[in-house]
Amino acid sequence: MEEGKAYSPQVVSDPAQPSARAVLEWKIKSVKSMLQIFYLTGISGKLTKRGVCFCISTAYEGTYLDSYHLDLLTKPEVQIYRHSLPTFIPLQQIAKKYLQTDIRRFLTVLSDHLNAYAGRRYQADQLQERFSDQIEGTLQRNSLCNLLVFNYNVSSKSKTFPFRARLLYGDLCCSLPTEVAVSCSLESGARK
C-alpha cells in the first residue's frame, strides 16, 4: 500500500437526497404492500371499468388456501359478470338472497361457505397425508368435502381392529362435523 494515500469508499448515491422517482416508487411499493395485507383479511379487490372484481381468500388457522375471484358489474344493477367459484358452492342461491340488497352480507356469506369448504378439504388432505400408515386405502369424499368415509386400523396386543369412520358436515358454513359414526367389524379381529 502506498504511503500517504487515503482510501475513500466510492459513494454511489447520497441516500439523504432520494430522487423524485425513487420517492414515488417507494410510495407505490408501500400502497401495494397495504393492498396485500387486505388479501390476508379475507376480502380484497380491485375497481374495474364497469364495477369491482372481488377476491375472497380462504384460510385454515394460519395457512392460507385458495382464493376465488368474483367480477361484479354495478350498472344498471349489481350482477355477476364472471367468477372462479367451484360449481358446488350455492352462488346463485346466495346472490338471489343478498346481492341486490346487501353486497357486504353477500360477500360475508359467500366467504363463510368458501372458507368452510376450504377448511374441510384441507383437513381431509392433512388426514390422508399424516395418517397414511393407519388409513386403509384412500379417504372417500364428495366434492363439497362434507361427507368423509375412511377405514383405519387400530392395533392392540398383537390384534388389529379394522374401524370405519363416517363424518358428516351438516352445516356447509362450518368446518367441523355435525355427525360422526364409527363402527368396527369385531368378529374379524385379525391376528397380526
59 in contact with another protein (CB under 8 A):
yes
- Using an 8 Å Cβ cutoff, are 182 and 165 in contact? yes
Helix (H) / strand (E) containing 36: helix 20-41
41 binds another protein (CB under 8 A): yes
Choose which of 6, 10, 16, 32 interacts with another protein (CB under 8 A).
32
By CB under 8 A, tell whether 43 contacts another protein.
Answer: yes
* Number of residues in contact with another protein under rule CB under 8 A: 39
Q: Which amino acid is at 50?
A: R
4 binds another protein (CB under 8 A): no
Residue with cell 352480507: 105
Contact region with another protein (CB under 8 A), list: 16-24, 85-93, 124-132, 138-146: 16-24
Residue 113 CB, shortest distance to another protein, in Å, is: 12
Which is closer to another protein, CB of 47 or CB of 186? 47
Q: Taking CB under 8 A as the rule, does residue 159 contact another protein?
A: no
- Please state, in angstroms and rounded to a whole number, the distance separating the CA atoms of residues 40 and 63: 10
Please give the full DSSP string across 159-191, using - where no structure is assigned. EEEEEEEEEE---TT-SS-SEEEEEE-GGG--B
CA–CA gap between residue 171 and residue 179 (Å, rounded)? 10
Provide the residue count of the chain: 192
Q: Give the shortest CB-188-to-another protein separation in angstroms.
A: 39
> Does the footprint of another protein cover residue 85 (CB under 8 A)?
no
User: Which of 42, 72, 99, 165 lies at the binding interface for another protein (CB under 8 A)?
Assistant: 42
**Phi-psi region for residue 147, left (φ > 0), alpha (ψ -120 to 50) or beta?**
beta
Q: Which of 45, 116, 122, 123 binds another protein (CB under 8 A)?
A: 45
Decide if 184 contacts 162 (C-beta within 8 A): yes
Question: What is d(CA 85, CA 18) in angstroms, rounded to the nearest whole number?
Answer: 45
Does residue number 115 form part of the binding site for another protein (CB under 8 A)?
A: yes
Q: Which of 1, 6, 11, 37 binds another protein (CB under 8 A)?
A: 37
